[in-house]
């Protein structure tokens, strides 16, 4: 029975993906020497506060989104893809561009005595040989590993690319610096992940790849999705809480909770435009942390949450009041940076400050979406 | 343990039911408000106070939600838990582990939470229905213990809800569902105000699929001014959640005027309401100048809105009790174009559902305030009955058309007392050959004999003397039909003026064009001419008839009884009832006249005539005389009855067209006469209900009779 639902979701996603492709194909003046974007910002590291140096490469896109299965229902990173004919040398150029742009800042950080995580995002998989050839990967790591203040390296990948040999070859050039793999687990529930998100891998695949990574001495960061399309707020909280607990038992070293933000040419956007979907509330994020986390978990696992478009209509937000959104985002960020449960203790939170707390409670109980 | 729904009375399609829960001894009456239990609000005193009200039902969003102990003496509607699918793609159970004594469980599915498109929705509902049936099949004892369940259907993001009807039909036809379903919550069907009329169509079609004794709950984006309309469609309960939501959005319900943004209400004076919440707001506003500084400010608006909703439901219930829902609805529709068009839509497209189900056994006043009233169901039903059931007196020689009067019944008004005096003086012994017919809008015509029946003595209309085209057309149609029924050679005198005259002349034109023959009539312009016209007509008459005694021998009083009985029970009923002779006897109560036959020295009671409603209630003998009358019988499947009520299982057949409150004759399995009673539900409801009372017995054949 669920297959028909899954097929409809897949079909709709594919249609949207084709529309996105049409638009991307109109682009002619790519600047393939530059990455999509790169930045340095404050971030919580495993033991302390530090910085993140993020580079988003423009590649030939995620293998799952390229395929006939059309990708995930909430992911619009496909829109940042480059031409299929992109060269590996151009990817290295992108890296050089980002490094030269931020080298000064990295030096300053080193002088401060802080540490930096370097993050390679490609809106796809770092370990996918189509996107990054093995020699490109090694070259990239070689170039960044000795940059000032760099403490560890994070790359994102789908679990099917986590192979022992490729990981070992990377570890060899990491120069003893920890390597972390970010894997989009989204939910521990297979129905939610495979049918509602159309993610295309099972829990077993994920557990296996975590095992392989750990065997090679690579850390694993799992991304969990808060409120995927087709879950209402209450179910979404329940799902996220369960997923955090499961991710901990499956051996994740850090967990990043990602509230859905609405990206172009996705199913989430389609539902959003028809008022059939509302991006999650910040209250829900806090609520998930309150319900799922214990001190014991926090001691073992790093909990992260850095939502995109936070406070905006299309991202995680409460009401239209800017003050309310910024108050609650501040609380959330404070919790992430200190990893201290006291901060999200209901007794310490200013629930009654904004009228939307009442609205949220009603929404939670009564709204079908 | 769920509730049992008993239909107590019906007003058209709307109805008054009671929800009984024997285990907890809870009894409430519909239309009823369904109030969501919001944990967040439970600390609020005002909310707690509202929850203590008698005529409400609680709704909880999951079985886990705790209900404060003080509120255990209310019915509770409870949703399934938030549910999705396990990792092996199996649905999570919808049924809770345990259901408390006063709780009705509602099957609800929360995942996937929104419909991608209509095809998706079909698939979604197919799964949902299969899951319900599977769970019921697996746990029959649990269902039996629950004593019925509800189902939540969500229409809010469907483009065309009609595509689900086939699916729903096959779902309901499953005996497990049909026998056990007690409530249906319809979410979001009336959300799209642009497609309001098609939503109405969908609902009426949906209703046909379900048994009649089902509790319909309306939910979604509906505001209090719509309640009367929805209840008129057949909803029994309204979910007030949306009113709470609106309060938190910053919307303030301004009673009849709809919603207004709070931020646009600047000063204290603008809260034109005296409820406790508004008092709180007024006090707060004197302390704080900026609205957003006030803590839990919006809660007050939410509760104010809630109060408005509760009040409106009370009002609608009162109106159903009185039988005046249709006029209340007309008044409401003046405040909203949405309702106006919806009401016109149902008047135009569903006369068989809304008009022919109206009982005329009422005493309420019927103010006709708008053009909508021309097609008020009571009015339409009156016209229908007049057209089909009532014949003019067979001995009519002169037919006088008179204008209506302000005072009702007409004969009590000053002008009509005068008319009657003139006619009597002019006619003398020929008076019984004169029939008087009163022309009026919107009823059309009212023969003098039935001037006391509802709504002839109960309607009122603002008279300016100007008649609009629709009034003229409707009224002239009635006049035409009446004149066609009159015997040949009847003299017609129309003492009319203004609009009445116009309508009459229009009728004459219609007859001329239809019958291809002219009718002679006179329109006297003043009282003297009127009197002369009667005398003149009589002279002609006496010339023709030399014997002096013509045809029928019934007296005026007998004619009146006969015509009232005809109107109420159908053509021929009057003759059957009074036989060769009968008379009215004024009872000690001013409101009641008894109808006595001439047998047993004039003391054989046939029935009682209630002057306040113009309605005859039959006696045992009266019923016996009408036992052959078609269309008023309830046939039982057993002759052995006791008690005062007959329930669905004892009944074989209820004649079509009978409405709730109508008199009926009770027949045994071999069509033998058993007694008389009045109907609790209309015949159409009877045919679709599963259990419950159908007839209230008044008189039954005694042992040995």
B112 SS3 class? coil
pLDDT exceeds cutoff 80 at B297: no
How many CB atoms within 10 Å of residue B460? Answer: 13
Residues B563 and B540 in one domain: no
Residues B176 and B203 in one domain: yes
Q: Cβ-count burial of B131 within 10 angstroms (0-12 exposed, 13-18 middle, 19+ buried)?
A: buried
Across-strand partners of B238? B33, B218
Confidence of residue A369 (pLDDT cuts 50, 70, 90): confident
The answer to which of A298-307, B175-184, B363-372, B514-523 has the lowest mean pLDDT is B514-523
Residues 86-105, chain B: which have Cβ within 8 Å of A?
86-89
B-chain residue closest to A271, CA distance? B116
Higher pLDDT: B72 or B102? It is B102
Residue for token digits 């995109």?
A308
ipTM attached to this prediction: 0.91
When CB atoms are compared, the residue of A188, A276, A357 closest to B157 is A276
Average confidence (pLDDT) over B189-202: 91
Residues B161 and B277 in one domain: yes
Residues B161 and B37 in one domain: yes
Residues B171 and B122 in one domain: yes
What residue ranges in B404-477 does DSSP mark as E strands? 434-440, 444-447, 459-461
Residue B358 within any structural domain of the chain: no
Residues in chain A: 369
Instruction: Give chain B's radius of gyration (CA, Å).
Output: 30
DSSP type of residue B156: T
Instruction: Give per-residue burial for B577-595: e unless 16+ CB within 10 Å, then b.
Output: bbeeebbeeeeeeeeebbb
Across-strand partners of B58? B35, B76
Shortest CA gap B38–chain A (Å): 7
Residues B612 and B636 in one domain: no
Q: Which residues of A touch B (CB under 8 A)?
A: 1-2, 4-5, 8-9, 12, 188-192, 195-196, 203, 229-232, 234-235, 238-239, 267, 270-271, 274-277, 321, 352-353, 355-359, 361-363, 365-366, 368-369
What residue ranges in B92-208 does DSSP mark as E strands? 103-107, 149-154, 181-187
Residues B301 and B445 in one domain: no
The answer to which of A263-272, B290-299, B305-314 has the lowest mean pLDDT is B290-299
B176 SS3 class? helix
Structural domain containing residue B511 = 366-544
Does the distance separating the beta carbons of A277 and B114 come in below 8 Å?
Answer: yes
Confidence of residue B552 (pLDDT cuts 50, 70, 90): low
pLDDT exceeds cutoff 70 at B130: yes
Across chain B, mean pLDDT equals 88
Residue B354 within any structural domain of the chain: no
Confidence of residue A344 (pLDDT cuts 50, 70, 90): very high
Residues of chain B with C-beta less than 8 angstroms from the C-beta of A270: 116
Count Cα neighbours of B295 within 13 Å in the Cβ-side half-sphere. 5
pLDDT at A223: 94
- CA pair distance A85, A82, nearest whole angstrom: 8
* Sheet with A150-156, side-by-side order of all strands: A37-44, A49-56, A116-121, A150-156, A179-186, A219-226, A254-259, A302-304
Shortest CA gap B156–chain A (Å): 9
pLDDT at B210: 94
Across chain A, mean pLDDT equals 91
Residues B701 and B667 in one domain: yes
pLDDT exceeds cutoff 60 at B551: no
Instruction: Give per-residue burial for A185-214: e unless 16+ CB within 10 Å, then b.
Output: bbbbbbbbbbbbbbbbbebebbeebbebbe
pLDDT in tens, A148-171: 889 899 999 999 999 999 999 999
Residue B616 within any structural domain of the chain: yes
Peptide bond preceding B31: is omega within 30 degrees of 0, i.e. cis?
yes
pLDDT at B265: 64
A358, A361, A367: best to mutate for the B interface, most B CBs within 10 A = A358
pLDDT at B703: 63
Q: Which of B378, B359, B330, B368 is nearest to B470 (CA)?
A: B368
pLDDT in tens, B181-190: 999 999 989 9
Q: Does B119 touch chain A (CB under 8 A)?
A: yes
pLDDT at B156: 85
Q: Return left, alpha or beta for B489; rule: phi > 0 is left, psi -120 to 50 is alpha, else beta.
A: left
Residue B355 within any structural domain of the chain: no
Q: Which of A259, A88, A252, A131 is nearest to A181 (CA)?
A: A252
pLDDT at B100: 83
pLDDT in tens, B395-425: 888 899 999 988 888 999 999 999 999 999 9
Q: Does B38 touch chain A (CB under 8 A)?
A: yes
Residue pairs spanning A and B at CB distance below 8 A = 128
B-chain residue closest to A320, CA distance? B249
- CA pair distance B578, B521, nearest whole angstrom: 34
Continuous segment of H or E residues that includes residue B72: none
Contacts of B464 (CB under 8 A, 6+ apart): none
Q: What tokens appear for A250 in the block?
A: 């499956």
Count Cα neighbours of B249 within 13 Å in the Cβ-side half-sphere. 14
Number of domains present in the structure of chain B: 4
pLDDT at B336: 85
Among candidate residues B622, B648, B665, the one where a domain is terminated? B622
pLDDT at B681: 93
Average confidence (pLDDT) over B84-88: 87
pLDDT at B294: 66
Residue for token digits 């002057």?
B611
Do residues A190 and A154 make contact, with C-beta atoms less than 8 angstroms apart?
A: no
Average confidence (pLDDT) over B519-548: 80
Residues B606 and B645 in one domain: no
Q: Which of B228, B456, B254 is nearest to B328 (CA)?
A: B228
Residues 446-505, chain B: which have Cβ within 8 Å of A?
none
Residues of chain B with C-beta less than 8 angstroms from the C-beta of A191: 84-87, 89
pLDDT exceeds cutoff 70 at B620: yes
| CATH number, residue B447 | 3.40.50.10630
Residue B360 within any structural domain of the chain: no
Quick one: angle between helices B165-172 and B118-138, nearest 10?
10
Among candidate residues B544, B577, B608, the one where a domain is terminated? B544
The answer to which of B26-35, B42-51, B271-280, B365-374 has the lowest mean pLDDT is B271-280
Q: What tokens appear for B112 in the block?
A: 């996937």
How many CB atoms within 10 Å of residue B283? Answer: 10
Q: Which of A236, A234, A278 is nearest to A257 (CA)?
A: A236
pLDDT at B270: 64
Residues B154 and B227 in one domain: yes
Confidence of residue B320 (pLDDT cuts 50, 70, 90): very high
Percent of chain A with pLDDT over 70: 100
The answer to which of A193-197, B270-274, B490-494 has the lowest mean pLDDT is B270-274
* Sheet with B582-586, side-by-side order of all strands: B582-586, B592-597, B604-610, B615-618
Residue B306 within any structural domain of the chain: yes
Q: What tokens appear for B199 in the block?
A: 């939503």
pLDDT exceeds cutoff 60 at B268: no
Residues B183 and B304 in one domain: yes
Average confidence (pLDDT) over B468-494: 90
Expressed in percent and rounded to 5, the helix, strand and coil fractions of chain B are: 45, 20, 35
Give CA separation, B93 vs A4, B81, B135, in Å: 21, 9, 7
pLDDT exceeds cutoff 80 at B43: yes
pLDDT at B34: 93
Residue B357 within any structural domain of the chain: no
Within its chain, how far is the Cα of A345 from the centroid? 26
| CATH number, residue B50 | 3.20.20.105
Average confidence (pLDDT) over B585-603: 85
- CA pair distance B351, B383, nearest whole angstrom: 13
Domains of chain A: 2-280 (3.20.20)
Shortest CA gap A117–chain B (Å): 35
Within its chain, how far is the Cα of A346 from the centroid? 27
| CATH number, residue B589 | 3.10.450.90
Confidence of residue B506 (pLDDT cuts 50, 70, 90): very high
Contacts of A31 (CB under 8 A, 6+ apart): none
Residues B533 and B649 in one domain: no
Residue B549 within any structural domain of the chain: no
Residues of chain B with C-beta less than 8 angstroms from the C-beta of A366: 36, 61, 241, 245
Among candidate residues B314, B349, B384, the one where a domain is terminated? B349
Q: Cβ-count burial of B619 within 10 angstroms (0-12 exposed, 13-18 middle, 19+ buried)?
A: buried
Residues 158-217, chain B: which have Cβ within 8 Å of A?
187-188
When CB atoms are compared, the residue of A192, A235, A275 closest to B110 is A235
A276, A362, A364, A367: best to mutate for the B interface, most B CBs within 10 A = A362
pLDDT exceeds cutoff 90 at B666: yes
């Amino acid at each position: 029975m669920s297959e028909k639902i899954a097929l409809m979701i897949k079909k709709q996603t594919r249609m949207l993906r084709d529309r996105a492709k049409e638009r991307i194909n109109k682009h002619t003046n790519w600047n393939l020497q530059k990455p999509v974007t790169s930045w340095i910002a404050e971030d919580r590291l495993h033991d302390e506060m530090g910085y993140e140096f993020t580079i988003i490469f423009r590649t030939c896109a995620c293998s799952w989104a390229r395929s006939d299965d059309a990708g995930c229902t909430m992911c619009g990173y496909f829109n940042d893809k480059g031409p299929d004919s992109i060269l590996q040398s151009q990817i290295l150029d992108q890296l050089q561009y980002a490094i030269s742009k931020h080298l000064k800042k990295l030096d300053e950080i080193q002088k401060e005595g802080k540490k930096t995580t370097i993050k390679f995002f490609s809106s796809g998989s770092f370990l996918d040989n189509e996107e990054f050839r093995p020699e490109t990967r090694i070259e990239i790591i070689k170039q960044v590993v000795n940059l000032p203040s760099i403490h560890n390296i994070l790359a994102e990948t789908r679990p099917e690319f986590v192979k022992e040999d490729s990981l070992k070859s990377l570890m060899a050039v990491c120069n003893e610096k920890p390597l972390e793999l970010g894997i989009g687990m989204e939910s521990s529930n297979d129905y939610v992940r495979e049918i509602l998100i159309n993610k295309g891998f099972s829990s077993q695949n994920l557990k296996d790849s975590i095992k392989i990574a750990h065997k090679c001495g690579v850390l694993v960061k799992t991304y969990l999705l808060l409120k995927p399309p087709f879950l209402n707020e209450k179910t979404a909280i329940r799902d996220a809480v369960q997923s955090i607990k499961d991710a901990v038992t499956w051996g994740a070293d850090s967990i990043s909770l990602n509230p859905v933000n609405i990206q172009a040419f996705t199913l989430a956007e389609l539902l959003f435009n028809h008022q059939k979907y509302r991006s999650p509330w910040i209250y829900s994020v806090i609520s998930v942390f309150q319900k799922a986390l214990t001190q014991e978990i926090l001691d073992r696992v790093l909990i992260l949450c850095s939502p995109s478009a936070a406070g905006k209509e299309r991202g995680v937000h409460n009401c239209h009041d800017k003050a309310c959104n910024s108050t609650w985002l501040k609380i959330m960020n404070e919790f992430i940076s200190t990893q201290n449960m006291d901060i999200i203790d209901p007794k310490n939170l200013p629930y009654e400050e904004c009228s939307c707390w009442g609205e949220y409670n009603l929404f939670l109980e009564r709204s079908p979406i | 343990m769920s509730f049992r729904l008993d239909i107590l009375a019906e007003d058209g399609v709307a109805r008054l039911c009671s929800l009984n829960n024997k285990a907890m001894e809870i009894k409430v009456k519909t239309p009823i408000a369904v109030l969501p239990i919001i944990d967040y609000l439970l600390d609020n005193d005002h909310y707690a106070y509202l929850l203590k009200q008698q005529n409400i039902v609680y709704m909880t969003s999951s079985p886990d939600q705790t209900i404060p102990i003080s509120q255990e003496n209310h019915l509770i509607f409870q949703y399934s838990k938030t549910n999705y699918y396990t990792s092996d793609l199996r649905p999570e159970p919808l049924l809770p582990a345990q259901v408390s004594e006063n709780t009705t469980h509602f099957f609800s599915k929360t995942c996937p939470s929104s419909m991608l498109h209509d095809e998706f929705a079909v698939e979604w509902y197919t799964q949902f229905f299969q899951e319900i049936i599977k769970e019921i099949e697996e746990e029959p004892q649990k269902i039996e213990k629950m004593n019925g369940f509800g189902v939540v259907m969500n229409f809010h993001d469907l483009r065309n809800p009609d595509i689900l009807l086939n699916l729903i039909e096959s779902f309901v036809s499953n005996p497990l569902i049909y026998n056990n379903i007690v409530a249906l919550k319809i979410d979001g069907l009336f959300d799209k105000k642009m497609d309001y009329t098609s939503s109405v169509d969908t609902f009426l079609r949906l209703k046909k699929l379900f048994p009649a004794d089902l509790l319909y709950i309306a939910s979604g984006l509906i505001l209090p001014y719509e309640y009367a309309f929805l209840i008129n469609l057949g909803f029994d309960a309204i979910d007030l959640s949306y009113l709470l939501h609106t309060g938190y959005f910053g919307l303030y319900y301004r009673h009849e005027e709809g919603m207004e943004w709070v931020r646009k209400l600047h000063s204290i004076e603008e809260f034109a309401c005296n409820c406790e919440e508004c008092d709180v707001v007024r006090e707060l506003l004197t302390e704080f100048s900026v609205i957003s500084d006030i803590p839990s400010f919006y809660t007050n608006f939410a509760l104010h809105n809630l109060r408005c909703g509760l009040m409106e439901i009370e009002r609608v219930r009162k109106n159903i009790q009185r039988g005046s829902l249709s006029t209340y609805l007309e008044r409401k529709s003046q405040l909203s174009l949405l309702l106006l068009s919806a009401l016109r839509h149902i008047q135009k497209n569903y006369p068989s559902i809304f008009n022919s189900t109206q009982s005329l056994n009422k005493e309420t006043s019927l103010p006709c305030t708008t053009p909508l009233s021309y097609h008020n169901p009571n009015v339409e039903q009156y016209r229908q009955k007049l057209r089909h059931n009532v014949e003019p007196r067979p001995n009519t020689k002169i037919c006088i058309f008179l204008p209506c009067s302000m005072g009702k019944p007409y004969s009590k008004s000053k002008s009509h007392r005068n008319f009657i005096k003139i006619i009597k003086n002019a006619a003398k012994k020929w008076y019984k050959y004169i029939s008087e017919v009163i022309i009026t809008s919107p009823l059309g015509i009212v023969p003098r004999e039935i001037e006391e029946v509802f709504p002839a003595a109960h309607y009122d209309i603002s008279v300016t003397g100007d008649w609009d085209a629709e009034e003229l057309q409707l009224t002239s149609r009635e006049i035409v039909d009446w004149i066609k029924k009159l015997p040949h050679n009847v003299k017609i005198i129309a003492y009319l003026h203004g609009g009445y005259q116009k309508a009459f002349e229009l009728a004459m034109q219609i007859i001329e064009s239809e019958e291809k023959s002219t009718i002679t009539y006179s329109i006297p312009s003043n009282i003297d001419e009127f009197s002369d016209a009667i005398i003149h007509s009589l002279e002609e008459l006496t010339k023709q008839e030399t014997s002096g005694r013509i045809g029928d021998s019934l007296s005026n009083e007998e004619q009146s009884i006969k015509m009232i009985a005809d109107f109420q029970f159908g053509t021929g009923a009057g003759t059957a009832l009074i036989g060769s002779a009968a008379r009215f006897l004024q009872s000690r109560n001013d409101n009641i006249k008894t109808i006595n036959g001439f047998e047993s020295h004039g003391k054989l009671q046939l029935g009682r005539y209630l002057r306040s409603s113009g309605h005859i209630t039959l006696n045992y003998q009266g019923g016996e005389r009408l036992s052959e009358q078609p269309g008023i019988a309830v046939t039982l499947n057993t002759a052995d009855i006791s008690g005062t009520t007959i329930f669905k299982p004892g009944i074989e057949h209820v004649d079509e067209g009978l409405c709730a409150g109508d008199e009926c004759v009770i027949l045994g399995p071999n069509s033998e006469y058993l007694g008389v009673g009045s109907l609790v539900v209309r015949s159409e409801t009877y045919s679709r209900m599963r259990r419950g009372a159908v007839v209230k017995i008044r008189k039954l054949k005694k042992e040995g009779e």
